[in-house]
Chains A and B, each alone.
Chain A
Amino acid sequence: MNLNPDLRYRLAVASRALAAIGGGYALSAVTAALLAVVLPMQPAEAVITATLLSFIVFCCAVLWVFAARTAWRAWGGIVAPGMLLGAGLLALRSMS
């Protein structure tokens, strides 16, 4: 691809912003959803703990996206754990 450097830079920023905001939210949402079911507490307590933690996950995810050296690593660091947690959630669903 022969994009000019300026446009290339902008696209890179847009891609990471999307990974950070959209991907970060999705990852923290999946984390909250899974923790709320697996934490060994009363349901209400587990939900609250999971939700409290999810914002910290979100923050760390955003930092990761912008700290990663390449865009692939940035996206990978969001998508891979997201898929893993999502798979765990689906597995639990199908068991219950």
Chain B
Amino acid sequence: MREGFRQSMAWLHTWSGLLVCWVLFLVFCAGTASYFREEITLWMKPELHASHAAPITNAQAAQTALTALQAKAPDASRWFITLPAERSTALRIGWISPPPKDAPPKTRGKFTSQIIDPLTGEKMPDVRETRGGEFLYRLHFDLHYMPALWARWIVGFCAMFMLVAIVSGVITHKRIFKDFFTFRPKKGQRSWLDAHNATAVLALPYHLMITYTGLVTLMFMYMPWGIQTAYKGNQESFFADVFPSARNGKPAGKPMPLTPLQPLLAQAEQRWHGIPAAGITINHPGDANATIQIRRQEEKGLNYIQPSVQFNGVTGALVSADNEDIGGANATRGVLYGLHIGHFANPLLRVLFFLCGLSGCAMVATGALLWAVKTRQGYAKKLAAGGRVGFGLRLVEALNIGAIAGLPIAFAAYFWANRLLPVAMPKRPDAEISWLFIAWAVAAVLAQIRPDRRMWQWQLWVGALLFMGIPILNIFTTSSHLGVTLFMAQGPWSVAGFDLTVLALGIGLALAAWHLGRKKNATKKTGKQGLQEPRETSEAKLQEAA
């Protein structure tokens, strides 16, 4: 929209980035947290911290789970067993109960899930109900308070904008390598530009990868047109080709006992050269048409698609072995998908992914701030003459505060609610989530009422104190605080890691708030109080003014 190629791309970069940056910030933050989804869930269930180190074989765990399912849900149409693994040591069972007889047709059965004691099969009695890291993972692409389908389209739309913003941003750049080593602090707009460049360029391959692969995870929904033509719109037959393990017959209505599970488990694990099973799904248990599907644990390969085997549920005969020989294109898709979710990463690589994700958050945030700072400079004369900023700038500045300073408050509120709400409270998971959104709504509304520097400072301080307070809160509410997990070296280490991470994030927010306060004093001294640029002011300019 401007003269010259580079100028047009700069324009495109600015607007494609700005229009969706607040949603992207949420998606980036929640996605970054999701790298530690299992660890966050464990942290949010302190009752499980002690039982963390009780090793048990897969066969034992599967048998316990099966016995529990037979007792609790004999009529279920499907049973699910999630076996303990390295990162998630809980034994989880789930089942789909048939819909009540008087329900309207096509009613779906209700899904129930429980964590059970791997030795007794009893439901862990006092484990607090929470959606834990799973909620942040869902928030990352399903948002909340709206149908998941809409949310996925919204997130996909924003991701496409992001892809365009990244590519046009790279084109805009004349000196991409040099910029990486350039930081000119305390120079107002220029500092923000440098910060934006540094965070963006530093992890550029990551940003490109994560945006494109994010689209790939839901690509059949966004772009079903290939299926339309090649499969004449028959999605089911396409998915049967791509995800062979998804097929699932109808019940025969004739009761038959289920074949013993343990030999099947042993057979599957032998087939996978000793790589253990991750989970078992039993369709129509107790029926003549029962099937048993066993999925392999993820190996440390990039592809997320894991082999699985399916057995006849009555005779125990092997029906099929799936995903052992994947086609080139599907393997490519599997690797792209795998790169996005990062399950292959060992702890160190996972931390690196987390840091890259944080740099993505910083890239989005600095980009949004850069727009506001730049636009405000255009108003400098008008402001000096006692005028006001335009509606657009005011809105952007308020949204920036509400998103960038408000979201940390919301996330912290979620963790605080997890510790402070009564353990036996009904609908506890919903209450935790409500607290996240209440805190965020308050921050966002206050930001709209008063989008100025002081609001930045307040909200950053609140976020900082809430985050830094989490490890302290733990001392009073759990017996697995840092004193135990770290100083007495009793672990679990992932719980200590969570506490240290939130502490570091809190310190980061506090530094930002403190820095902002210092800047304000400097502004006062030079007698230029009208300036309300968030977090930064060009000191060079102030000196000129003085």
Of the candidates A16, A51, A89, the one whose C-beta lies within 8 Å of that of B220 is: A51
Please determine whether A47 and B160 come into contact, CB atoms closer than 8 angstroms.
no
- Most chain A CB within 10 A, of B1, B215, B220, B328, is at B1
Tell which of A37, A49, A55, A66 touches B229, judged by Cβ atoms closer than 8 Å.
A37
Asked if A52 and B332 make an inter-chain contact with CB atoms under 8 angstroms apart, the answer reads: yes
* B227 nearest in chain A by CB position: A47
Cross-chain contact of B219 among A33, A42, A43, A51 (Cβ < 8 A): A51
B329 x A48 contact (CB < 8 A): yes
Contact of A91 with B by CB under 8 A? no
The yes or no answer to A30 lying at the interface (CB within 8 A) is yes
Asked whether, in the complex, the Cβ of A51 is within 8 Å of the Cβ of B229, the reply is: no
Q: Are B12 and A44 in contact (CB under 8 A)?
A: no
Q: B139-147, B161-169, B443-451, B486-494: which one contacts chain A?
A: B161-169
CA gap between A12 and B242 in the complex, in Å: 43
> What's the Cα separation between A49 and B336 when bound, in Å?
12
Number of interface residues of B (CB under 8 A): 37
Q: Report whether A66 and B230 are in contact in the complex, using a CB–CB cutoff of 8 Å.
A: no
Interface residue? A63 (CB, 8 A): yes
Contact A55 B212 (CB under 8 A): yes
Say yes or no: B1 contacts A66, CB within 8 Å: yes
CA distance A34 to B229 in the complex (A): 7
Q: Report A10 CB to chain B, min CB distance, Å.
A: 11
Within 8 A of B (CB), among A26-68: 28-30, 32-37, 41-52, 54-55, 58-59, 62-63, 66-67
The interface of chain B, by Cβ under 8 A from chain A, is 1, 5, 8-9, 11-12, 16, 160, 163-164, 167-168, 171, 212, 215-216, 219-220, 222-223, 225-231, 238, 241-242, 327-330, 332-333, 336
- State the A residues within 8 Å of B (CB): 12-13, 16, 28-30, 32-37, 41-52, 54-55, 58-59, 62-63, 66-67, 89
Please give 18 more A-B residue pairs, beta carbons under 8 A apart, in addition to A36-B226, A63-B171: A29-B223, A32-B223, A32-B225, A36-B229, A36-B230, A37-B229, A41-B327, A43-B241, A46-B329, A48-B226, A50-B230, A51-B223, A54-B226, A55-B160, A55-B215, A59-B164, A67-B5, A67-B8
